[in-house]
Structure 1
Amino acid sequence: MAGEDAKKVSKKADDKDDREKEAAPSPPPPAPSPPPPKPGYFSVWAEPAHYDSTLHLIMTQLMEQHEGPAFLPHVTIMSHHWSSPEEAEASLKALCDCTLPFTLKVLRVESGTTYHQCIYLLMDKTQEVVKAHVEALECFKQLKEDSNLEEITEKYKPHVSLLYCHMRDEELDLAKAKVEAEHGKILLGKEYNITHFSLWYTEVNDESCISWNKYMDWPLKEPERPIWAQGQGTPRSSLKPEPKLEA
């Protein structure tokens, strides 16, 4: 009898353990690994090195007034479709390694007929920014043997978009005139230092810009310092003139 009672107690304990195991929640499945970046439309941006409150205020006001998307101020150095982000990153580094820091200067407020060039600041087309554009085409393997560099540089128009929007001509004229009247004196002639380039995924069919994201920043090439600045000589200004010998 004692043996049978012990078996019953053991069976009840086993049944209780089984019920507890069934009631206990199963551990959550492991989080899926993030998908690799997909091939797509990438852009190289020249973003101002420092935050400009006036520029951001203008862009925010235009965005709210015309229900446009939010995006950061930038000058597009080039855009193209690439097969892999890794290839684009390597090309960006090569571009930055051969491009010195430069300055972008605002010429005037302009309006355009396309969504991404609705209201924008036309920038001075300096040799530095044109060279960066051509170097980008070369580093990203977009130049061909029969490419017409003169035509390419002629078409390139460095600008900072203030608004992405589809607007009628009358609306464009009013929006442009308002920006000129309220902010023209501050904007015209303003300069922005460019010290790095950034690589962005910019799907052109996404007008909301929600899918746009930055993959990386890379600093531009540091200008070579003179020998005396490297501690290997004496600056010319500090050289003392040799004393004249008396006759």
Structure 2
Amino acid sequence: MVKKNVYSVWAFPQEVLTPRLKKLMEGLRSEFGEPQFELHVTVVGAISLMEDEAYDRFNKACENLKAYSATVEKVATGTFFYQCVYLLLHPTPEVVDASAHCCTHFGYQNSTGNLHSSL
């Protein structure tokens, strides 16, 4: 039996922005009682792959991928545990293209079309 694990691809904000964003997220977390985990933008959601396949796809996805700017459009809510309250990103061409580029390499179908920053 082939062992698969669940992987996702995250983008991280510039270090200079991290304290400001963490403060915002802590306020939202305390107000809504959400779990705490590392501040990130989900580029590719959870996908089941073999480890070597995940590494290969990640390395190929990183080729020709550059850092991009993203701005928060609004605070949004969802029904998934880690997405009960999140920051919805403005879907600029750079944000959408980076997600589409990575999703293509991972064979991931984005069901919502939304890009978000997790609490």
Contact 1:118/1:161 (<8 A) preserved: no
For residues 105 and 65 of structure 1, the distance between their equivalents in structure 2, rounded to whole angstroms, comes to: 22
> Which residue does 1:158 correspond to in 2?
115
Residue in structure 2 matching 1:120, options 53, 70, 86: 86
Which letter does structure 1 place at the counterpart of 2:42? Answer: T
Partners of 2:42 and 2:118 within 8 A in 1: no
**1:128-171 Cα distance to aligned partner (Å, 9 max, x none):** 2212222222212347xxxxxxxx6x832111122xxxxxxxxx
Aligned with residue 101 of structure 1, among 51, 64, 67: 67
| C-alpha separation in 2, matches of 1:77 and 1:102 | 12
Aligned pair 1:129/2:95, yes or no? yes
Give the number of the structure whose alpha-carbon radius of gyration is greater.
1
- Structure 1 unaligned blocks of 5 or more: 1-37, 144-151, 163-247
Q: Distance in 2 between matches of 1:85 and 1:135?
A: 20
Letter in 1 for 2:15: H
Which amino acid in 1 is paired with 2:21? Answer: L
Query: For structure 2, which runs of at least 5 residues remain unmatched after alignment?
Result: none
Q: Which residue identity is paired with 1:81? A: S
Tell me which residue corresponds to 1:77. 43
Q: SS state of the match for residue 70, structure 2? A: strand
Partner of 1:111: 77
TM-score (norm 2): 0.78
Q: Which amino acid aligns with 1:54?
A: R
TM-score (norm 1): 0.41
- Within 5 Å, give how 1:16-95 maps onto structure 2: 39-51=4-16, 52-63=18-29, 67-79=33-45, 80-82=47-49, 84-95=50-61
Identity of aligned residues (%): 30
Work out the CA distance in 1 between the residues paired with 2:40 and 2:108. Answer: 21
The one-letter code of the counterpart of 2:7 is F
Question: SS of 1:129's equivalent?
Answer: helix
| Partner Cα distance (1:142, 1:159) in 2 | 16
Matches within 5 A, 1:138-177: 138-142=104-108, 155-162=112-119
Distance in 2 between residues matched to 1:65 and 1:106, nearest whole Å: 19
What is the alpha-carbon root mean square deviation over aligned residues?
A: 2.4
Structure 2 distance, partners of 1:131, 1:142, is 14
Q: Deviations over 1:50-73 (max 9, x none)?
A: 152122123334445655432111
What's the offset of the Cα at 1:104? 0.7
User: What secondary structure sits across from 1:137 in the alignment?
Assistant: helix
Q: Deviations over 1:19-76 (max 9, x none)?
A: xxxxxxxxxxxxxxxxxxx631100001112152122123334445655432111111
Compute the displacement of 1:88 (Å): 0.8
